[in-house]
Amino acid sequence: MSDKLVFKQFSFSDASELFPFVERSTFLCCDISIGFFAIWRDRLNIHNAIWNDTCVIRQNYAGLTVFSYPFGKDPDGMMQLVYDYALENNLSFRLFSVPAALLDGLKKYPFVKTVSSSYNITWSDYIYDCEDIMHFKGKKFNGQRNHINKFKRLYGEPVLKRIEGEDIPKILLMMEEYDLEHKDAKSMEKEEEETSKFLLKHLDDFALFGYCLFVGGRAVGFMIGEVIGEMLIIHVEKALRSYEGAYPTLFQSSVRAIKKRFENIKIINREDDGGDLGLRTSKQQYHPVGRVHKYMAFINSPLFYAKLTPIDCGGVFMSAMKETDKLAYYQLCTDEELNRLWGYDYKKDPSFPKEIDENTFYEVALNDKKAGESVSFALRTSLFEELIGEVIFWNIRGDRVEIGCRIVKEMQGRGYGKAAFRAAVSYAKNVLKLRPEAKCFIENVSSFKMISASGLKLTGQDETYYYFS
């Protein structure tokens, strides 16, 4: 059945073909939009497939293959098709950005035995009432009105223009100054800036539109968005800090201009905050009327019912994490040398909160277990001692599971890793009923010895890793 499903990478030419499907979707989230596909097409490797007048998106998220909830004429038929596709390609069946209203409905499909899900407030889109933003009436918008009035006093009446080719060089000059104002921007934020420049040059290709705010012929702010039904999605919104009041002026002026073109607009989606506390504060100051909560759903996860009962590995114990482990686990997860050999940098993970503390990693581990995404065991020298390391079962792909193990530096070289990894392989085969796999960096000699001693066999290598199964 799934031979009818052909995925192709999203490209310029797909925008006009996919827009009718996007326009008919009722999800109200930014993830199902042409702008989202265009912005994230390379980073998330976005692919789309169409069958029976129905569309589904496939993408990579935090190293995993995930699918959208189908949208179009026959979502139920497409759901079965995608499930078959996942099985035949030895992929686990994960759905991203599932609206809360559709989560329970997943249980209706005959192939569904369990539905586990994860939710993070940083994924939720901010929704605003169009009339609120157009007029900024009432006491709650005093701040916005004051900022706009100051902008007018300093720079005159706002000059807003729909972006055309001749405006792009001026906006790119503005972006150079914007970069100087954000010298401390993280790599992901810098990548978003490059994406903004890319979109500016391809607005027509992706059926998007933009508006630019000028002062004395100089670009001081711009936005890029699209309209889906009664919703305006703002994908990009940037202004210079040196021009006081530029952000609220740009926001209100753009909404007014777009409302003239699209009279049916009722709500505005300004996307999520990605865990950035400064961005969160800014979005909340405009008084959203609601949030669109989105979930990652895992269908039939073999980790859903996994028990974290203590396991004596011989000299070291695997057991459930406790609240008292938070600080030790935080220190383990933020050790840069260990992370380099572990092969994972949480700072570059788009699913990870930008602001972290000693609660963060513990809560992520609990949420991932609840979602059926992974199971993390704490390693201890006795059941009553503090955490000295971690064993994780993750990256479920069909009947395969990847195992990882890391030990704090001061406890390495004592055989704890070998003992724990051997027990983890047994747990995967005999309890989880999955085929264990592992990998390690070629230069990581200690991990190579640890995995080899567990009974797993070296099955291949590339320029970066040794692979075991």
Question: Residue 371: its pLDDT value, please?
Answer: 84
Q: Give per-residue pLDDT as tens, 372-390.
A: 889 999 999 998 899 999 9
So what's the pLDDT on residue 350?
Answer: 65
If you search the block for the tokens 């979109």, which residue do you land on? 199
pLDDT exceeds cutoff 90 at 283: yes
Tens of pLDDT, residue by residue over 159-176, are 999 999 999 999 999 999
- pLDDT of 187 > 60? The answer is no
Please check whether residue 250 is in contact with residue 223, taking contact to mean a CB–CB distance below 8 angstroms.
yes
Distance CA 296, CA 66 (A): 9
Q: Are 302 and 433 in contact (CB under 8 A)?
A: yes
Instruction: Calculate the average pLDDT of the chain.
Output: 91
Contacts of 429 (CB under 8 A, 6+ apart): 435, 436
Cβ–Cβ under 8 Å, residues 352 and 275? yes
- pLDDT greater than 90 at residue 127: yes
> What domains appear along the chain, each with residue ranges and CATH number?
2-122+294-299 (3.40.630.30), 125-271 (3.40.630.30), 311-468 (3.40.630.30)
Pairing verdict, β 93-99 and 64-68: parallel
- Quick check: 302 and 434 in contact, CB under 8 A? yes
SS3 of 322, please?
coil
| Tokens representing residue 53 in the block | 């007048």
pLDDT value at position 119? 85
Strand 231-239 versus strand 267-269 pairing type: parallel
* Single-letter residue type at 147: H
Q: Which runs of consecutive H residues, i.e. helices, occur in 136-275?
A: 142-155, 168-181, 187-201, 246-261
**Statement: residue 1 has pLDDT above 50:** no
Q: Bin 11: left if φ > 0, else alpha if -120 < ψ < 50, else beta.
A: beta
- pTM of the predicted model as reported, rounded to 2 decimal places: 0.82
Burial class (CB in 10 A: 0-12, 13-18, 19+), 282: middle
DSSP letter string, 29-95: -TTSSHHHHHHHTTTTT-EEEEETTEEEEEEEETTEEEEEPPEES-HHHHHHHHHHHHHHTT--EEE
